[in-house]
Amino acid sequence: MMERNLPIRPLRPEAGYLLWLDCRDSGLDQKHLAKAFRDHAGIDLTDGLDFGDEGQGFLRMNFAVTRETLMNVIDRLEAMFA
């Protein structure tokens, strides 16, 4: 799914529908990370810092959606980083 050419890497989920996205290679600073995804890709993600300092450079995504919706999200991420 996320093997596409994106500067973000998903961490393998341990359970459930929550996915951590490693965005440290995205070139975006933490202060503007979640806002950039919302403004440029229309994707509202949770700031990793909401979970403590270990969340620096990460966003959390709830992916309890249809495959079609998830593929649309990935397409929007590709467009954002193109």
Taking residues 71-75, report their average pLDDT: 92
Q: What are phi and psi of 69, to 5 degrees?
A: -65, -45
Topology at the third CATH level for domain 9-81: Aspartate Aminotransferase, domain 1 (3.90.1150)
Rounded distance between C-alpha atoms, residue 51 and residue 34, angstroms: 14
pLDDT tens, position by position, 1-53: 455 678 999 999 988 999 999 999 999 998 899 999 999 999 999 999 999 99
Nearest residue to 61 (alpha-carbon basis) of 25, 4, 26, 9: 9
Domain ranges within the chain, ordered by starting residue:
9-81
Q: pTM surpassing 0.85?
A: yes
The answer to whether the CB of 51 falls within 8 A of the CB of 32 is no
**Encoded tokens for 29:** 């600073």
Assign residue 49 a region (left: φ > 0; alpha: ψ between -120 and 50; beta: otherwise): alpha
